[in-house]
Structure 1
Amino acid sequence: MSSRRSARLSGASPNLKQASSAANDMPPPQVANISKKRKNPSKDDVPAAAPSTPKRKKATKSVPPMTPTPSAIGLMTAPYSSGDIDDSTPPPLNRLAVPNGTNAPLVTPETHRLLANKAVDQVSPSKKGNIKSTTGTLLEEALAHLVKVEPRLKAVIEKHHCHVFSPEGLAEEIDPFRSLVSGIISQQVSGAAAKSIKAKFVALFNTDEPDAAQHSFPTPSQVCSNSIEVLRTAGLSQRKAEYVHGLAQKFHSGEITTEMLFNASYEEVLEELVKVRGLGKWSVEMFACFGLKRMDVFSTGDLGVQRGMAALMGRDVGKLKSKGGKWKYMSEKEMEEISEKFQPYRSVFMWYCWRVEEVDVSTME
């Protein structure tokens, strides 16, 4: 039988040989199929019987996704650190501050005009006489309120100094266009890559200055005067180049202004900025908190905030399970209900929620 089988294979057509060779990559046939084709198969022809019970794969432990706080938030908030503020900022002045308004000195991107001591303008005339907070006392007032509402925060507060809302942090001058563009550049890339791309982007507009330390950030009109193809030569992707160009057009046309960001309510700022391609809700929340220094911002969608808040409430965050394909340490409704007690200092409360679980937020400062 073996000799006849060999003769048949040797005389087979090339196509049949190729098919036979391709069959080697296929799973072995079942014994039942062979038995039907050949009544008396030899021992060499019959493959070993498959085990009756297939081996079960070892279950892998499901792991929740990385919170955006350590990585993405570091990149998104980097524009609001010492790398993107006026390093020649004078000693902080004790000026009026409003928990529900913008407390950062904002610089207009085109004229570099400073908007600072206008906190009182953000309050209705009937309430102007009630403003007693200043940039020198705002953080102290916020911390006292947090400890009063939740005494368990006292140990965390004593361990970590919140620089971003300190008198020094509130004195940092912020160019909102520069901050938002830097945030877009930093999305979904490493810190080193973001820094390199940003340097190349700025260099496009400083060709006459060989010293990179003397480069100035481009204005919206300068960005608008260049094509998307030119912006891409700095290492921006097609989409990010479109985002940056679109944001520049909104500032250049006056659709978004520094005055609006300074004087508008948080809800109005959020509504306007999420219309911009490349700026999602979380990005705007981080900008409002760390860029505009608004004291009453709270992000329910940040896993780092969720985790810290759940731990603060005594939950076992190590036993978190995925429900419906989405990881949740706490529901957004529950987070909103708890955070309401910390108004109007929810930004500070959010900062300490990150600290509860030792989330690295050093880049925010």
Structure 2
Amino acid sequence: MLRDGLFLETLQIKGPYNFDLVLDRLSMDPLNQVDIDSRSVKVPMLIENEAVIAHVQAVGTLDNPKFIIKGTEGENIVKAEKRLAEIFQWDVPLEIISEHFRKTDLAPIFEQHYGTPLVLDFDPFSCLLKCIIHQQLNLSFAHTLTERFVNTFGFEKEGVWFYPSPETVAALQVEELRALQFSGRKAEYVIGIAMEVVKGNLDFTSLRDQSNEEIYKQLIKIRGIGPWTIQNFLMFGLGRLNLFPVADIGIQNALKKLYKLDVKPTLEEIESFSKGWEPYLSYASLYLWRSIE
């Protein structure tokens, strides 16, 4: 429906779906345009090389989720809606996942954060870059560094920031990123990944149809990309449901808190704890992170 130059669509999905907790987590990133009071977020997307901004507002409840989606007339709203469904994981059966974890040690966490979906980053390329930038940094400075990067080399539309394109990043010099407080090595990694995209060696569209193992074998060859980065990309770039980054400090701290341990658990202990959490290990990861955020 068109009204005052805007495309408006009302979408009803199956509950539970806690969009308020989605917005709470999205608001941690200063680049995201989140309005907690109006229960809305502006989502930047590149649809066929067109910069599209969708305004997504929750008007329903936890058990009866409903959304109003707005976009500018003339934008590729049909493909944008499909991408929004992917980003917000509107088709994932959260009740089935919650029921699965009610029988595990994670039951209290899943009850506290009931209906929280695994929301994807808005773009696979930016997701991979963000994973690289966030490596071995505390979360606060990681967000600061990412914001500097996007504000300097990305572009703004209607108050919403878009990450720079692969072509833009590939053309950067290490010194330009060093000026933002990137380490020299991290600057090389970011530029190198963009070069792989520009050369056609890394195609995010084709990755969607590949298995986790196939993606791992391809990405691990790229300088700067290790197992932690790949696991996070599979979760937040592609929405894969069964990833558990055991080396992640946040997950280790969350397990330490959950099981009231004196020290962080060993890898053997983590593997023991996580038995029975498959095939939804990504949701175990998400809810453990939420438990300490």
Q: Please give the alpha-carbon distance, in whole angstroms, between the structure 1 residues aligned to 2:95 and 2:114.
A: 11
1:349 positional shift: 2.0
> Is the 1:80–1:174 Cα contact (8 Å) retained in structure 2?
no
1:191 positional shift: 5.0
Q: Deviations over 1:204-235 (max 9, x none)?
A: 4469x7x9946532111122223333343444
> Is the 1:310–1:330 Cα contact (8 Å) retained in structure 2?
no
Match of 2:106 in 1: 153
TM-score (norm 2): 0.61
Match of 1:16 in 2: none
Q: Quick one: which amino acid aligns to residue 350 of structure 1?
A: S
Q: Quick one: which amino acid aligns to residue 164 of structure 1?
A: P
TM-score (norm 1): 0.51
305 and 230 in structure 1: CA distance in 2 versus 1, 3 angstrom threshold: closer
Give runs of aligned pairs for residues 39-188 of structure 1, distance below 5 A. 78=29, 85-86=43-44, 88=54, 90=56, 116=82, 135-148=90-103, 150=104, 152-161=105-114, 163-165=116-118, 169=119, 174-188=122-136
Q: Quick one: which amino acid aligns to residue 183 of structure 1?
A: C
Q: Deviations over 1:44-90 (max 9, x none)?
A: xxxxxxxxxxxxxxxxxxxxxxxxxxxxxx9xx95996689536255
280 and 183 in structure 1: CA distance in 2 versus 1, 3 angstrom threshold: same
Q: Count residues with an aligned counterpart.
A: 228
After superposing the two structures, state which structure 1 stretch, 154-163 or 194-203, moved more.
Answer: 194-203
Instruction: Determine if the alignment matches structure 1 residue 329 to structure 2 residue 265.
Output: yes
Give runs of aligned pairs for residues 292-311 of structure 1, distance below 5 A. 292-306=238-252, 308-309=254-255
1:289 positional shift: 1.9
Give runs of aligned pairs for residues 277-288 of structure 1, distance below 5 A. 277-288=223-234
Give runs of aligned pairs for residues 204-215 of structure 1, distance below 5 A. 204-205=152-153, 213=159, 215=161
Q: Larger relative CO (CA 8 A, sep 6+): 1 or 2? A: 1
> Is the 2:98–2:114 Cα contact (8 Å) retained in structure 1?
no
1:249 positional shift: 0.8
Match of 2:200 in 1: 254
> Is the 2:43–2:56 Cα contact (8 Å) retained in structure 1?
no
> Is the 1:202–1:218 Cα contact (8 Å) retained in structure 2?
yes
Q: Please give the alpha-carbon distance, in whole angstroms, between the structure 2 residues aligned to 1:195 and 1:154.
A: 30
The percentage of aligned residue pairs carrying the same residue is 30
Instruction: Determine if the alignment matches structure 1 residue 290 to structure 2 residue 233.
Output: no
Match of 2:171 in 1: 225
SS at match of 1:278: coil
179 and 80 in structure 1: CA distance in 2 versus 1, 3 angstrom threshold: farther
> Is the 1:296–1:345 Cα contact (8 Å) retained in structure 2?
yes
Q: Quick one: which amino acid aligns to residue 131 of structure 2?
A: G
More helix by share: 1
> Is the 2:127–2:236 Cα contact (8 Å) retained in structure 1?
no
Q: Deviations over 1:104-137 (max 9, x none)?
A: xxxxxxxxx86958x9xxxxxxxxxxxxxx8345
Q: Quick one: which amino acid aligns to residue 146 of structure 2?
A: K
- Structure 2, unaligned runs of 5 or more: 1-24, 35-41, 45-52, 59-78
- Choose the corresponding residue for 2:284, options 349, 353, 361: 349
Match of 1:201 in 2: 149
Q: Please give the alpha-carbon distance, in whole angstroms, between the structure 1 residues aligned to 2:123 and 2:249.
A: 28
1:317 positional shift: 0.7
1:316 positional shift: 5.0
115 and 137 in structure 1: CA distance in 2 versus 1, 3 angstrom threshold: closer
Q: Deviations over 1:329-358 (max 9, x none)?
A: 1443x5435534222111112333445xx4
After superposing the two structures, state which structure 1 stretch, 174-183 or 272-281, moved more.
Answer: 272-281
146 and 215 in structure 1: CA distance in 2 versus 1, 3 angstrom threshold: closer
SS at match of 1:341: coil
- Structure 1, unaligned runs of 5 or more: 1-73, 93-112, 120-133, 321-327, 361-365
214 and 310 in structure 1: CA distance in 2 versus 1, 3 angstrom threshold: closer
Q: Please give the alpha-carbon distance, in whole angstroms, between the structure 2 residues aligned to 1:337 and 1:156.
A: 18
Q: Please give the alpha-carbon distance, in whole angstroms, between the structure 2 residues aligned to 1:261 and 1:79.
A: 28
> Is the 2:124–2:237 Cα contact (8 Å) retained in structure 1?
yes
Q: Please give the alpha-carbon distance, in whole angstroms, between the structure 1 residues aligned to 2:193 and 2:149.
A: 15
Q: Please give the alpha-carbon distance, in whole angstroms, between the structure 1 residues aligned to 2:200 and 2:214.
A: 16
Q: Deviations over 1:124-178 (max 9, x none)?
A: xxxxxxxxxx834521111111224x2x43333221235333xxx3xx6621111
> Is the 1:79–1:179 Cα contact (8 Å) retained in structure 2?
no
Question: Larger C-alpha radius of gyration, 1 or 2?
Answer: 1
SS at match of 2:292: coil
After superposing the two structures, state which structure 1 stretch, 184-193 or 260-269, moved more.
Answer: 184-193
